[in-house]
Amino acid sequence: MTITDIPVFDVDLYSDESVLDPYENYRRLRELGSAVWLSKYEVWAMGRHADVYTALHDHETFSSAAGVGLSDELNRVMAGGTIASDPPEHDRIRRVIGRQLTPKALRQHQDHVQRRATELVEHLVERGSFDAVADLAQKFPVSMVPDLLGWPEDKTDNLLAWAAAGFNALGPMNERTVAGFPTLQNLWEFLAELSNSRDLRPGSWGANLAAAVDAGEVEADRLPTLLGDFLVPSLDTTVSALASAMWLFGTNPEQWQRVRSDPSAIPDAFNEVVRIETPARGFCRLVTTDYEVADGVTLTAGSRIFLLYASANRDERVFKNPDTFDVRRPNVASHLAFGHGIHGCVGQGLARLEAHALMKALAARVSRIEVGEAGWRAHNTIRGLASLPTTLHT
């Protein structure tokens, strides 16, 4: 195959227009081929489900160790955590973080999370009308995560801004990334300070992580990065999923009635939420050796490739009527919203625990979710709402 045969996509996937309404561009990418050259950023992109799935299960060819963002500068700064490492280093770090997030470990928090969800829903039912982003999607994880991490109670004001800046930095060096530099600097300084002071509640996830460092399981200079690995992914992606759930059920009331009539469908319903409105659009990998994709294009060693989870989750080759929200979709568990393989989101169990608890509490009390005009936010990595006027009907 000659250079002229390589499929090229000239659209800027990070323009405001594309970020706010990405799905037609994803469809065009899928039509072009298994791997498409993004001329604006000089990286490859994969948008088909089968190709993304294969790449996620081949860490030797598609490496995370050189970073998973588009910017080489920020990839170097953010290296060393679970998301930006490969085995055997990745496995060692993930064991330390993951032991707090196993299904068994999370079960002990289930009643507490459900109680907090019920309390929040009761409060919102009493209010009647509210903003589903600020008053539900943001409020719930922010009320839960700092306590689980053992975070200092007087240091929670910047959590959402820190998380947003952290994910923005995985995009190109554009205005959004640069605008977040002061916030990122503040986050890194705080994580370093927290690692030194160990101002973490005894028995919390953060304190357990610090104890693992003291026991020699992880190097001390990794502690700030690993604390950030706990914090950043546990907030912004969950906020996105919860807000999208409210919007999707508000605009598809028949789907909400299906959930209310059969609460056992809640896990599949949440899977469908993150399939159709995938919180993190995707992450990059470094191609370590020449690799030929399904339609004959060769990815050369040293090139970068953008694995588009959000496109893969709307691939018509896998999902029938992919742009339709259907809580009874038979193969919904095939989605890649949390990644897959060794780099599958370590915190997805916590996200599911929170989302399932809220949906259960809502199903018990709310007959209809009425939503107003949705305002979407422009972000390099996270697909999310900025505002969503909502009224709950009981």
Global pTM reads 0.95
Amino acid, res. 52? V
Q: Which has the closest alpha carbon to 226: 42, 98, 383, 315?
A: 98
| Residue with the larger pLDDT of the pair 204 and 78 | 204
User: What is the rounded CA–CA span in Å between residue 38 and residue 47?
Assistant: 12
Q: Find the mean pLDDT for residues 41-48.
A: 97
Beta-strand relationship, 282-287 and 62-63? antiparallel
Instruction: Please give the pLDDT value at position 229.
Output: 83
Stated as kind and residue range, the H or E segment containing 292 is strand 291-292
Going by the DSSP 8-state scheme, the letter that residue 382 receives in this structure is B
User: What is the rounded CA–CA span in Å between residue 204 and residue 183?
Assistant: 25
Percent of the chain with pLDDT over 70: 99
Give me 40's structure tokens: 């604006």
Does 3 have pLDDT greater than 50? Answer: no
- Residue indicated by tokens 């759930």: 245
As beta bridge partners, residue 44 has 37, 305
Beta-strand relationship, 43-46 and 304-308? parallel
User: What is the rounded CA–CA span in Å between residue 355 and residue 350?
Assistant: 9
Q: Which has the closest alpha carbon to 376: 233, 244, 235?
A: 244
- Per mean pLDDT, which of 19-33, 84-98, 175-189 is the most reliable? 19-33
User: What is the rounded CA–CA span in Å between residue 60 and residue 245?
Assistant: 36
User: Residue 192: what are its φ and ψ, rounded to 5°?
Assistant: -65, -40
Stated as kind and residue range, the H or E segment containing 306 is strand 304-308
- Number of Cβ within 10 Å of residue 213's Cβ equals 18
- Number of Cβ within 10 Å of residue 351's Cβ equals 23
- Sign of torsion, CA 285 163 384 394? positive
Q: Find the mean pLDDT for residues 300-312.
A: 97
Whether the Cβ atoms of residue 349 and residue 101 lie closer than 8 Å to each other: yes
User: Residue 221: what are its φ and ψ, rounded to 5°?
Assistant: -75, -5
| Interacting residues of 6 by C-beta distance below 8 A, sequence separation 6+ | 37, 297
User: What is the rounded CA–CA span in Å between residue 76 and residue 368?
Assistant: 48
| Residue with the larger pLDDT of the pair 288 and 226 | 288
Q: Which has the closest alpha carbon to 274: 205, 217, 359, 200?
A: 359
Does 19 have pLDDT greater than 70? Answer: yes
Amino acid, res. 391? T
Q: Find the mean pLDDT for residues 354-383.
A: 97
Does 147 have pLDDT greater than 50? Answer: yes
Split at pLDDT 50, 70, 90, the class of 4 is: low
User: What is the rounded CA–CA span in Å between residue 124 and residue 130?
Assistant: 7
- Sign of torsion, CA 68 184 378 144? positive
Superfamily designation of domain 3-393: Cytochrome P450 (1.10.630.10)
| Residue with the larger pLDDT of the pair 233 and 111 | 111
Does 72 have pLDDT greater than 90? Answer: no
Give me 27's structure tokens: 């469809």
User: What is the rounded CA–CA span in Å between residue 252 and residue 31?
Assistant: 28
| Domain regions of the chain by residue span | 3-393
As beta bridge partners, residue 161 has none
Whole-number average pLDDT of the chain: 93
